[in-house]
């Protein structure tokens, strides 16, 4: 199989061939199974009973992901064209997807090369969650989500800034209002910030709450503001989806020959 055939197999084309779709779904399924396996490892009873199988599955998965990574380096001259093969490979390796692919397999190989503390190894193994982000390469829906977020990033950033501002204002107010009445619950601004986050997001854990009249009044205002602030980003993203889908449908209604819109 030459490089062009491998490229058509690995990289999804405009329509996607039968073998390309099989490859895509196989990689997606392997990513999901890896996340499930990582979750099962944290359950002591399951880890004790099928720990050996999970380790073997991890080994096979790393081999598959490693082969895929090497294949993508091999076809990088087609996916990331440059003046030389080395530059093309470098462009892929240091691209977003290339780094995610590398982070998906490096936790397995690194302990084989250098001696490290097992406690650090546990943290390093959590990097396997980067395999979830590989799904984005194979799923157009996730690409649509990222596209919408990029279009609305300025609006979302403004909303986030306003929410952060309200959080800090509420934290300072609650510190001065409730600090003397509940020094153990509101001892500093950071403790008040935890209360503000729980209240603004309308979660309300109930572990920290005001007891003074003014504190309850401020808490009520923050809770009401939280309803609108939490819903606002959702509305922005939803509007972006509707606009994106509308534009896509409009493009589909154009005649491919003359460019005129078809009823």
pLDDT, tens only, 136-164: 676 666 677 778 888 888 888 888 888 88
Please give the average per-residue pLDDT across 240-258, as a whole number: 66
The 3-state DSSP class for residue 254 equals strand
- Measured CA to CA in angstroms, residue 232 lies from 43, 112, 185, 224 at distances of 38, 48, 30, 13
Q: What phi and psi, each to the nearest 5 degrees, are found at residue 11?
A: -95, 125
Angle at 72 between CA 67 and CA 76, to 5 degrees: 150
Q: Bigger pLDDT: 178 or 114?
A: 178
Which residues lie across from 261 on neighbouring strands? Answer: 254
For residue 193, pLDDT over 80 is answered with: yes
Which is nearest to 172 in space by CA: 216, 209, 218, 228? 218
Q: How confident is the model at residue 252 (pLDDT cuts 50, 70, 90)?
A: low
Kindly list the structural domains of the chain, giving each domain's residue range(s) and its CATH number in brackets, ordered by start: 3-138 (1.20.120.350), 153-252 (1.10.287.70)
**Tokens at 208, concatenated:** 């920290």
Name the percent of the chain lying above pLDDT 70: 82
- Which pairs count as long-range contacts for 165-168, CB under 8 Å and 24+ apart, including other chains? 166/196, 166/200, 166/222, 166/225, 166/229, 167/193, 167/196, 167/197, 167/200, 168/193, 168/196
Q: What phi and psi, each to the nearest 5 degrees, are found at residue 90?
A: -65, -40
What is the predicted pLDDT for the residue at 3? Answer: 82
Q: What is the distance between the alpha carbons of residues 65 and 233, in angstroms, rounded to a whole number?
A: 35
What are the residues whose beta carbons fall under 8 Å from the beta carbon of 239, sequence distance 6 or more? 152
For residue 50, pLDDT over 60 is answered with: yes
Q: What is the distance between the alpha carbons of residues 4 and 217, in angstroms, rounded to a whole number?
A: 67
**Tokens at 72, concatenated:** 């993508």
What is the predicted pLDDT for the residue at 14? Answer: 47
For residue 94, pLDDT over 90 is answered with: yes
Q: What is the distance between the alpha carbons of residues 152 and 164, in angstroms, rounded to a whole number?
A: 18
Q: What phi and psi, each to the nearest 5 degrees, are found at residue 17?
A: -75, 175
* Sign of the C-alpha dihedral computed for residues 104, 105, 106 and 112 taken in this order: positive
Please give the average per-residue pLDDT across 94-103, as a whole number: 86
What is the predicted pLDDT for the residue at 63? Answer: 93
Region of residue 2 (left: phi > 0; alpha: psi -120 to 50; beta: else): beta
What is the predicted pLDDT for the residue at 200? Answer: 86
For residue 117, pLDDT over 60 is answered with: no
For residue 54, pLDDT over 80 is answered with: yes
Please give the average per-residue pLDDT across 128-138, as a whole number: 69
What is the predicted pLDDT for the residue at 28? Answer: 84
The 3-state DSSP class for residue 84 equals coil
Please give the average per-residue pLDDT across 195-206, as a whole number: 84
For residue 128, pLDDT over 70 is answered with: no
């Amino acid at each position: 199989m030459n490089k062009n055939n491998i490229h058509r197999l690995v990289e999804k084309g405009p329509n996607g061939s039968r073998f390309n779709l099989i490859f895509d779904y196989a990689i997606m399924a392997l990513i999901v199974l890896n996340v499930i396996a990582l979750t099962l490892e944290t359950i002591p009873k399951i880890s004790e009973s099928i720990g050996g199988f999970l380790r073997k599955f991890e080994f096979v998965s790393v081999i598959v992901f490693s082969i895929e990574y090497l294949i993508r380096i091999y076809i990088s001259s087609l996916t990331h064209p440059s003046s030389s093969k080395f530059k093309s490979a470098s462009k892929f390796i240091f691209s977003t997807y290339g780094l995610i692919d590398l982070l998906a397999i490096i936790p397995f190989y690194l302990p084989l090369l250098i001696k490290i503390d097992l406690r650090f190894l546990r943290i390093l193994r959590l990097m396997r969650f980067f395999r979830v982000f590989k799904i984005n390469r194979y799923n157009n829906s996730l690409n649509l989500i990222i596209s919408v977020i990029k279009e609305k990033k300025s609006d979302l950033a403004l909303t986030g800034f306003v929410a952060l501002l309200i959080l800090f204002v509420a934290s300072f107010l609650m510190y001065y209002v409730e600090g003397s009445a509940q020094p153990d619950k509101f001892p500093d601004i950071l403790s008040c910030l935890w209360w503000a986050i729980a209240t603004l997001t309308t979660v309300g854990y109930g572990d920290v709450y005001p007891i003074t009249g003014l504190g309850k009044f401020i808490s009520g205002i923050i809770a009401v503001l939280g309803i609108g602030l939490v819903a606002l980003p959702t509305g922005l993203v939803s509007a972006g989806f509707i606009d994106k889908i509308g534009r896509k449908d409009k493009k589909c209604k154009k005649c491919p020959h003359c460019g005129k819109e078809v009823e």
